[in-house]
Amino acid sequence: MKRRKFEWGYLLLIPGVGYIMFFVLASLYIMFAQSFGFYNYTGTSEFSLQFWQHVFSRTFFDDLWFSFRTALLTALISIIICYPLSLILQRIPGRKTFLSILKIPMFVPALVASFLIVNIIDYHGVINMILEKLRLIDEPLRLRNDAAGIGALSVQIWKNVPFQMIIMYSAIEAIRKDVRDAAANLGANRFSILKEIIIPITLPSALVAVIMVFVRTFNDFAISKTAGPYYPTSISNLMYLHAYTFADWNTAACIGVMMMITSIAFVSFYSYLSKKIGN
């Protein structure tokens, strides 16, 4: 067997990749160590499981469920919007201009986007004003900081649809035109082309888009803080509360570990389920 020669060119990755990996691994190590009582800034630094006992409470599970539900609904609703929208943009003139306009929410910071949407859905916002003028409601609806989290969900969808659009539009555009033309010449209608060609080819991209939106929404702080309900709140807000309000960094580290475990578990299960559906 011929022995492979070491490629010295890989060493050029060290300044970039090595720098990133060092801080990522160091941060993960500190977080895991703090969750078991080490690096305790306010007390004795020693091995302990007492901080994990503080985590498993009703407040934690309510916040975890709210974050998981919001992230999952955002990812699924966004991809449902993006699929037909990407197909429509393929056929209309000036699609690059429309695509550029749709990308605007991506360049708006999350906190700014949250306040923009809040002004629309607030108790005396635009939506309630219109509904009252049309006499469809007698008093304003509570859409901001509502218990169901509709306000936070609306902002998340507005922010993440353009992100998924970039992925899905590129995936659909990459399908060669002659493949679709060949299917049409063989008697396939538009629905058959969509079902047998477009969806199977773009499914991997859709899976990646859903996973990426889920992870970034699940760990959100700013939007849920401004537009989300007072209780339950997001798991990131609970982590912030323990770290900066109670100065309990060890419990905050436990919450961070649970956030990572939840994200990894969802991605693993979703990938496994996707492979089963694909087969």
Q: Please give the pLDDT value at position 2.
A: 55
CATH architecture of 31-106+157-278: Orthogonal Bundle (1.10)
Q: Shortest CA distance to 278 belongs to which of 214, 202, 215, 210? A: 202
Confidence of residue 96 (pLDDT cuts 50, 70, 90): confident
| pLDDT tens-place string over residues 111-169 | 777 777 777 877 777 888 888 888 888 888 777 777 888 888 888 888 888 888 888 88
pLDDT > 70? residue 279: no
Q: What is the pLDDT of the chain when averaged over all its residues?
A: 83
Q: Please give the pLDDT value at position 37.
A: 87
Question: How far apart (Å, rounded) are the C-alpha atoms in residues 59 and 96?
Answer: 46
| pLDDT tens-place string over residues 187-224 | 777 778 777 888 888 888 888 889 889 988 998 888 88
Q: Please give the pLDDT value at position 4.
A: 60
Provide mean pLDDT across the span 48-52. Answer: 86
Confidence of residue 275 (pLDDT cuts 50, 70, 90): confident
